[in-house]
Structure 1
C-alpha cells in the first residue's frame, strides 16, 4: 500500500482544545504537512468532510473541528455570536499551528470574519459563504417560527420552516402544502434514525443547531464591506448550480477583498464540499479538494 493509500484509509485522531469561554472544542486530525482547518457547514459535523480531508492528507495535516453544539464539542452557551465561532477557530489554530482555513456556507461567513481579526490566518477558502445581501427579512425571518415549532417538539415542521425560509429546496416546495412537506420530512427522519449507526449525527439531532445558524446569518447579513479589511489571500468558490441568493455575496466579496481569486465549478451544487451520502447526493469533495490543494500548495512552497 502506498503512503497516499495509507492516509486515505487512516483513522483520524480525535483531539480537544478549550475555547476562550471555556467551551471544549473537539477536532479530528489526519495527514502530514502544513495545517488546514476545515470547518463544516449547517446540518453537518466534522465527519461530513472526511473525504475532502483524505484527498488532502498526503500533503497537509487536516484538522476538522466539530463546531460548538455538535459532535463531541461543548454547547453554544450564552450570548452566541460570530465571535464565539472566531474564538473556537482561534483555539484550534493556536493548538495546531495551522495557517490555512476552509469554510462552507454559514461557517464560510465565520471564517471570513476570523480572517479579519486573526493574523494567524494566511490563506482562506470559502465555498458559497452564507452572507445575505438580498431579501434579508425573508431569509432570516423564519427563526421565530422555527423556535416555536422546536419548542412544541415538532421537529419535522421546524425543518420545513428552515428549508422554506432559506430557499433550500426546489421551487415546487413553495407551492406544496406544508402539511405534506412535514409528513414527508417525518418519514425521512424515521428512516434515517432507523439506519443510523450509534452516535451518528442525524437530521433530528442536528435540527437544534439551525437556530444558531439563523442567529449567525442575521448578525452578519448585509455587511459585506467589513471584509475589505481582510489581508489574507482569499479563494472564493461556488457551484453553477449553487444557491442563487448567495451569488451576490460572492460577486461583492470579489470586488472588495484586496487579495482575492474566484472559481466557479460547472454543474456543482451548494452541497459539493460534503461527503457523498443519502442525505447529500450532490457531494463532490474530491473536485473541491483539488482547488484547495492548488491554492494552499502555492503558499506552502512560498
Structure 2
C-alpha cells in the first residue's frame, strides 16, 4: 500500500491537478517537481518531511494524475494550478526544483499566502544564459516519434547531469531507446519516462517566457531560500546569483557534491530535506 493519499483540485481553466499527500498535522509544504519528472520523483523528499509537515506533491499538468497542458499553455496556467492547490490545502510553504522553481517563483509573486519559498536551481535565463539552441532539434525528433533521440538532445543540451555529457550520442541513444521500451510506471498513478519526454517542450516555453524577468522579483514579499549544488552547470549558478542580488528577503545555501537532481529520489533528498526543515521552522 502506498504511504500517501491522493487528491485533486480544479485549476482556473477547469483542468484537474492530481497530487499526493504525505504526513498529516503540521504546516503545509508543496513540492513542485522539475522538467521531465512527476510527483513520483519526490517520494523520498516528501517522506523525509512528512513527520513534521503536511506534504503535498502535485503532478504538474500534462503528467500522471493531472490533465493536459491545453492549447493556450503559458506559465500562467501552472501558476493557476499551484494557486488552486495552495487554496485547497492552506499550505504556506513551497519548494520548487528547476522549471518547478520557476513556476513557484512566479506564483509567489501574486500569492501572499506563500510565506516561505525554497528554490533549487531555477533555470532563470539572464541575458541568454540558459542554453536554448538544442530545442528545435529536440522538437523535430519529438515530432517524428523518436523520443529516445529527443531525450538525449534535451539531456545533452541542458547539461544538468554530468554523466550524460560524457557519453557519446551514438552510444547513449540506443541504450535509452531500449530503456523507454521496457520501463513503465510502477503504479497506475506514476508516469513512465516515455510519457514525460514530450513535457519538456512546455517547460522550455516557461524558460523562454520568464527569461530576463529577475527584476520582477525585487518586490517579492516572501522569505526565500536559494539552493544549488556544486556539480550543477554554470548557467544555473548565474540564475541564483541574479536572484540573490534582486530578492529583498533571500538567503543562499550551496550543497557540496549535489547535482541538479539532488532533491529527487535518485539524488540526495535527505540532505535537501534537512535544509528545508531548518528553513521552514526557523523563527
Sort the TM-score into its range (normalised by shorter chain): over 0.9
User: In 2 relative to 1, CA 235–43 (structure 1 residues): closer, same or farther, beyond 3 Å?
Assistant: same
Choose the corresponding residue for 1:270, options 247, 260, 278: 260
Q: What is the rounded CA distance, in whole Å, between the counterparts of 1:168 and 1:260 in structure 2?
A: 24
Listed one character per residue, the Cα deviations across residues 86-128 of structure 1 (whole Å, up to 9, x for unaligned) are 1000000000011100000001011111111111111100111
TM-score when scaled to structure 2?
Answer: 0.93
* Cα drift, residue 201 of structure 1: 2.1
Alignment partners' CA distance in 2, 1:244 and 1:189: 29
Unpaired runs of 5+ residues, structure 1, are: 1-8, 277-282
Identify the range of structure 1 (151-160 vs 139-148) with the bigger mean alpha-carbon deviation.
139-148
2:192 equivalent among 190, 194, 202: 202
**217, 220, 229: which one aligns with 1:239:** 229
Q: Which residue of 1 aligns with 2:220?
A: 230
What is the TM-score normalised by the length of structure 1? 0.87
Where does structure 2 lack aligned partners over 5 or more consecutive residues? none
Higher relative contact order, chain-length normalized (CA < 8 Å, sep 6+): 2
* 1:97 aligns with one of 62, 78, 90: 90
Structure 2 partner of 1:186: 177
Is the contact made by 1:164 and 1:174 (CA closer than 8 Å) also made in structure 2?
no
Q: Specify the SS of the correspondent of 1:269.
A: coil
Task: Say which SS state the counterpart of residue 227 (structure 2) adopts.
Answer: strand
Query: Which residue does 1:260 correspond to in 2?
Result: 250
The CA deviation string for residues 15-61 of structure 1, in whole angstroms up to 9 with x for no partner, is 11000000000111121211000111112111111111111111110
Match of 1:167 in 2: 159
Q: Is 1:29 aligned to 2:26, yes or no?
A: no
Aligned residue runs from structure 1 range 1-302, under 5 A: 11-31=3-23, 32-133=25-126, 135-136=128-129, 139-170=131-162, 173=165, 176=168, 178-193=169-184, 196-199=185-188, 200-276=190-266, 283-298=267-282
Q: Which runs of 4+ in 1 moved over 6 A?
A: none
Name the CA distance, whole Å, in 2 between partners of 1:55 and 1:163.
28
Count of matched residue pairs: 281
Is the Cα–Cα contact under 8 Å of residues 10 and 30 in structure 1 kept in the other structure? no
Contact 1:134 1:245 in 2 (8 A): no
CA–CA distance in structure 2, aligned partners of residues 134 and 188 of structure 1: 36
CA change 1:204–1:255 in 2 (3 A) is same
Q: Distance in 1 between matches of 2:26 and 2:162?
A: 41
- 96-105 or 236-245: bigger deviation: 236-245
- Confirm or deny: 8 A CA contact 2:28 2:53 kept in the other structure: yes
Q: SS where residue 241 of structure 1 aligns?
A: coil
User: C-alpha separation between the residues in 2 aligned to 1:37 and 1:51?
Assistant: 14
SS at match of 1:207: helix
**Which deviates more from structure 2 when the two are superposed, residues 118-127 or residues 165-174?**
165-174
- What corresponds to 1:6 in structure 2? none
1:63 CA drift (Å):
0.5
Contact 1:56–1:289 (Cα < 8 Å) also in 2: yes
Q: How big is the alpha-carbon RMSD for the aligned residues of Structure 1 and Structure 2?
A: 2.0
SS of residue paired to 2:55: strand
Q: Is the 8 A contact 2:28 2:90 kept in 1?
A: yes
Partner Cα separation in structure 1 for residue 42 and residue 102 of structure 2: 18
